[in-house]
């Protein structure tokens, strides 16, 4: 297990370096001039060139990339002379628009994205797994057909359509919920839930439909395995056969998808946060794209990559608990 963890951690580090290199190369070739963006609209050509030299943007891409990598792990000094600024660990640079550290911007927004992602994940797991298991155990009945038709219809709805309809019906017409705004859990737990219910529903409906279909297929396949027939032949109750021998191995593909989906959402659900005006990492990324704020875009990209590759590692470890066959492998 220790050797496995070491190999996976090395793989994660290499993956992040590759993602960082590709992202850095893309923005190095980007048509927008970072020096001009940092300097502002009214800067003269001479001033832009001075800023470019102070920020080290006139160095080769290899030197700039090396400096960027070192800064992430050890911090760095941005600029030179009287304009030098110390950027502590972890240094992802400063925003061209707000002149604030990128790391601080992301961490200020991260609680919003984490609240959205974790709450939605709980909702879609409860709905998706329940619907999938019921559909599998009632295979080829009206219950199965109703659930599958419903999941197809829900999965076909775009996220932005669901969000707009919920805002119009629940907030504007019925007035059952307030217009969503983020309230920290520590300040008002009830207000935290009330303001995130609609975003949770928006995200969970789509994922619940996909997880229901995946769970159904996986449970049906697992319940036809020889060891399940053996468990029934021993006289075990059907509930125990389904829960212990059928459901746990069937959760393996679900765990894989959950790791990928949750890792992506933790880095920010761009569409949902933008539609509900939630100040999360996804909204930060969207605003940075509109303003071509390259340091912030690079920081959010690396943050998203980190959560995705880390969630894959967690999924591999969870495999051993869900399915004993993974331990032997």
pLDDT number for residue 79: 63
Residue labelled with tokens 């520590």: 186
Terminal Cα-to-Cα distance of the chain (whole angstroms): 12
Task: Count Cα atoms within 13 angstroms, Cβ side, for 21.
Answer: 9
pLDDT number for residue 328: 52
Of 193, 249, 208, 205, nearest in space to 226 by CA: 249
Determine how many CB atoms are found less than 10 A away from the CB of residue 297.
20
Contact 151, 212 (CB under 8 A): yes
Burial class (CB in 10 A: 0-12, 13-18, 19+), 14: exposed
For 259-311, the pLDDT digits (tens) are 778 877 876 677 888 888 888 888 888 888 887 788 888 888 888 888 888 88
pLDDT number for residue 69: 83
Low-confidence residues of the chain: pLDDT under 70: 1, 29-33, 37-38, 40-41, 78-84, 267-268, 319-329
pTM for this predicted structure: 0.79
Contact 264, 71 (CB under 8 A): no
């Amino acid at each position: 297990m220790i050797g496995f963890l070491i190999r996976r951690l090395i793989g994660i580090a290499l993956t992040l370096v590759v993602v960082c290199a590709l992202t850095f190369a893309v923005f190095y070739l980007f048509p927008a001039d970072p020096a001009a963006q940092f300097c502002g609209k009214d800067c003269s050509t001479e001033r832009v060139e001075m800023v470019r030299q102070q920020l080290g943007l006139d160095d080769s891409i290899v030197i700039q990339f090396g400096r960027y990598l070192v800064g992430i792990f050890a911090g760095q000094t941005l600029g030179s002379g009287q304009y030098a600024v110390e950027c502590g660990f972890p240094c992802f640079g400063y925003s061209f628009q707000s002149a604030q550290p990128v790391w601080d911007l992301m961490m200020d927004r991260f609680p919003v994205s984490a609240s959205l992602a974790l709450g939605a994940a709980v909702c879609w797991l409860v709905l998706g797994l329940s619907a999938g298991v019921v559909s599998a155990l009632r295979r080829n009945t009206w219950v199965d057909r109703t659930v599958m038709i419903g999941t197809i219809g829900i999965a076909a709805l775009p996220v932005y359509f669901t969000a707009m309809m919920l805002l119009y019906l629940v907030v504007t017409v019925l007035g059952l919920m307030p217009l969503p705004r983020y309230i920290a859990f520590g300040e008002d737990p009830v207000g935290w839930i009330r303001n995130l219910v609609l975003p949770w529903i928006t995200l969970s409906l789509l994922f619940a439909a996909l997880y229901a279909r995946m769970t159904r297929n996986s449970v049906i396949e697992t319940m036809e395995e020889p060891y399940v027939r053996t468990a029934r032949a021993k006289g075990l109750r059907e509930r125990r056969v389904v829960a212990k021998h059928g459901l746990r191995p069937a959760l393996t593909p679900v765990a894989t998808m959950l790791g990928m989906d949750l890792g992506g959402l933790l880095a920010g659900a761009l569409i949902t946060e933008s539609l509900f005006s939630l100040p999360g990492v996804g909204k930060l990324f969207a605003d940075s794209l509109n303003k071509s704020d390259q340091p912030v875009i690079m920081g959010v990209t690396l943050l998203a990559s980190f959560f995705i590759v880390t969630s894959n590692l967690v999924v591999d470890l969870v495999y051993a608990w869900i399915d004993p066959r993974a331990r032997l492998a």
